[in-house]
Amino acid sequence: MSTFKHHEFNEKQKSQSDIIVSSAEVFENFINICCPDSREKSLAKTNLEQAVMWANKAIAIHGSEEE
């Protein structure tokens, strides 16, 4: 399976992605509450966004461990 083509989630993958996204949103709220506006805060949020993207890509390409 090519890593450069669009990958559709099945229902289980969509559910897993939703968990990852909602968890990241909670963590982003903690970052917003705890960290002053700064370059470091921006980097923390950018890297969180990247982590969500890579996790979702792993789910889309490889499925889940439970499949």
> Residue 25 corresponds to which amino acid?
E
pLDDT of residue 49: 98
Phi, psi of 45 (to 5 degrees): -70, -35
pLDDT of residue 67: 52
Residue with token string 């968990």: 19
Q: Could you give the CA distance from residue 4 to residue 30 in angstroms, rounded to a whole number?
A: 33
Tokens of 35: 């960290």
27-67 pLDDT, tens digit each: 999 999 999 999 999 999 999 999 999 999 999 998 866 65
pLDDT of residue 65: 65
